[in-house]
C-alpha cells in the first residue's frame, strides 16, 4: 500500500499540472471504488479552478476556488497517470484542464476512494476527525509521544500505527524508524524513556524525509504520476531483509504481528 512518502510524492507530481488550472472535464468512469464515488463530484469540480494541493496522512487533497476539497486515497494499487496516450480499463477518474492536460486515477484493485467535502468541514471528515498530528509537523515531538503513550502496555510498533496517535505512519517506515532509533518493536510504549522517544521522533522524521526526497519506495504497483518508480527501497535497513545481515553483522529477523510483517535486528534494537 502506498504510504505517506508515496502520497507526498504523488501530490508533488500533480501540483505543477493542476495548481492554478481550471478543470474543463471531470469524468468518473465508474460508480464506486472501495465505496461509492459522490454523485455530485462531477458537478462540483467541473469548471472550478484548482487552488492548491496537499496531503493529510495518506490522503491527497485537491482544493478548488469553490471551497471544495476532493480527497483521494490510493488504496493498495492506485496511482495517477499524467497525459496518458490512451485510457485503460482501470482508469476510474478522468480530469482535463482548459490547457489540455489530462490526468487519470488508475486503481486496478479498487481499494482506493474519492470524496468531496467543503474545506470548512474538512476536520469533520470521518477519517480525519480523530487523527493525531502529522509526523513531519512541529506538534509531533518526543514530549508528545511520551505523554500520549504514558502507561500504555501495547508494543511501540502497534502504537505508532495507531492513526489516533500519529497520522499516516505505515508498516515500512515504522520498521525502519524503530531500527534507526535502536528500539525494539515489542518494547511497551509506556516503558520508553523521553530521551529514547526524542531519538525515535527524529528517526521517523529522517526516514520519511529521505523517502520523500527519493521519490517514494518501489513497492508492487506504486509509481509516481510521471510513471517513474520510487527508489528509496534500495536503502531499506531492515524492511524486507529477513535473513540478511544488519549493519551490526547480526541477521535481520521477521515476525508477524496482527497480520503485518515486522522486520528488526534483535542486537541493535532493545
Work out the number of other CB atoms within 10 angstroms of the CB of residue 172.
25
Q: Say what the pLDDT of residue 80 is.
A: 93
**Biggest alpha carbon distance in the chain?**
59
Residue of 108, 120, 129 lying closest to 59 (CA atoms):
129
Question: Who wins on pLDDT, 234 or 29?
Answer: 29
pLDDT tens track for 141-164: 999 999 999 999 999 999 999 999
The mean per-residue pLDDT over the stretch 53-58 comes to 97
Distance in angstroms (rounded) separating the CA atoms of residues 76 and 105: 13
Alpha helices in the chain (DSSP H): 4-18, 41-45, 126-129, 142-148, 156-160, 171-181, 194-214
Query: For residue 222, what pLDDT is reported?
Result: 64
Whether the CA torsion 194, 198, 203, 205 is positive or negative: it is positive
259's torsion region: left (phi>0), alpha (psi -120 to 50) or beta? left
Instruction: Specify the CATH architecture of the domain 142-264.
Output: Orthogonal Bundle (1.10)
Output the pLDDT for position 257.
Answer: 86
The pLDDT of residue 76 is above 80: yes
d(C-alpha 49, C-alpha 23), whole Å: 6
Range in 7-16, 136-145, 168-177, 226-235 with the lowest mean pLDDT: 226-235
Residue 2, pLDDT > 60, answer yes
**Per mean pLDDT, which range of 17-26, 91-100, 229-238 is the poorest?**
229-238
Domain ranges of the chain: 4-129, 142-264
pTM of the model: 0.91
Confidence of residue 166 (pLDDT cuts 50, 70, 90): very high
Q: Is the per-residue pLDDT at 94 higher than 90?
A: yes
CB 60 within 8 A of CB 113: no
Q: Mean pLDDT across the stretch 254-266?
A: 94
Grid cell 527508489 — which residue?
Answer: 231
The span from the CA of 155 to the CA of 79, in Å, is: 32
Write out the H or E segment, with its range, that includes residue 257: strand 253-257
Q: 54 forms bridges with which residues in the sheet?
A: 61
- Is the pLDDT score of 225 beyond 90? no
pLDDT over 70 at 8, yes or no = yes
Mean pLDDT of 255-263: 92
Q: Is 213 exposed, middle or buried (0-12, 13-18, 19+ CB in 10 A)?
A: exposed
How far, in Å, CA of 247 to CA of 245, rounded? 6
HSE of 221, CA atoms in CB hemisphere, 13 A: 16
Q: State whether residue 207 is helix, strand or coil.
A: helix
What is the pairing mode between strands 79-82 and 59-64?
unpaired
pLDDT of amino acid 223: 67
**Reported confidence tier of residue 231, pLDDT bands at 50, 70, 90:** low
Give the mean pLDDT of 15-19. 96
Cα separation of the two ends of the chain: 28
Query: What is the homologous superfamily of the domain 4-129 according to CATH?
Result: MutM-like, N-terminal (3.20.190.10)
Active site residues: 2-3, 58, 260
Dump pLDDT digits (tens) for 196-222: 999 999 999 999 999 998 887 655 556
What is the residue-averaged pLDDT of the chain? 94
High-pLDDT (> 90) share of the chain, %? 87
Distance CA 31, CA 105 (A): 14
Amino acid at each position: 500500500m502506498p504510504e505517506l512518502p508515496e502520497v507526498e510524492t504523488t501530490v508533488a507530481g500533480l501540483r505543477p499540472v493542476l495548481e492554478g488550472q481550471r478543470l474543463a472535464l471531470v469524468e468518473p468512469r465508474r460508480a464506486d471504488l472501495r465505496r461509492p464515488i459522490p454523485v455530485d463530484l462531477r458537478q462540483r469540480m467541473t469548471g472550478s479552478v484548482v487552488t492548491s494541493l496537499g496531503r493529510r496522512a495518506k490522503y491527497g487533497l485537491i482544493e478548488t476556488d469553490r471551497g471544495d476539497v476532493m480527497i483521494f486515497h490510493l488504496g493498495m494499487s492506485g496511482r495517477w497517470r499524467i497525459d496518458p496516450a490512451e485510457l485503460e480499463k482501470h482508469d476510474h477518474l478522468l480530469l482535463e484542464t482548459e490547457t489540455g492536460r489530462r490526468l487519470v486515477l488508475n486503481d486496478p484493485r479498487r481499494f482506493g476512494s474519492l470524496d468531496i467535502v467543503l474545506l470548512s468541514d474538512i476536520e469533520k471528515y470521518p477519517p480525519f476527525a480523530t487523527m493525531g498530528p502529522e509526523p513531519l509537523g512541529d506538534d509531533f515531538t518526543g514530549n508528545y509521544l511520551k505523554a500520549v503513550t504514558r502507561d500504555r502496555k501495547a508494543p511501540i510498533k502497534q502504537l505508532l500505527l495507531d492513526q489516533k496517535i500519529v497520522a499516516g505512519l505505515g508498516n515500512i517506515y515504522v520498521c525502519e524508524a524503530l531500527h534507526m532509533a535502536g528500539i525494539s518493536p515489542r518494547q511497551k510504549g509506556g516503558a520508553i524513556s523521553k530521551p529514547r522517544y526524542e531519538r525515535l521522533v527524529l528517526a521517523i522524521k529522517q526516514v520519511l524525509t529521505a523517502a520523500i526526497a527519493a521519490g517514494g519506495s518501489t513497492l508492487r504497483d506504486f509509481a509516481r504520476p510521471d510513471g517513474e518508480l520510487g527508489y528509496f527501497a534500495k536503502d531499506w535497513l531492515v524492511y524486507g531483509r529477513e535473513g540478511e545481515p544488519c549493519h551490526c553483522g547480526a541477521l535481520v529477523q521477521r515476525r508477524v504481528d496482527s497480520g503485518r510483517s515486522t522486520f528488526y535486528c534483535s542486537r541493535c534494537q532493545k
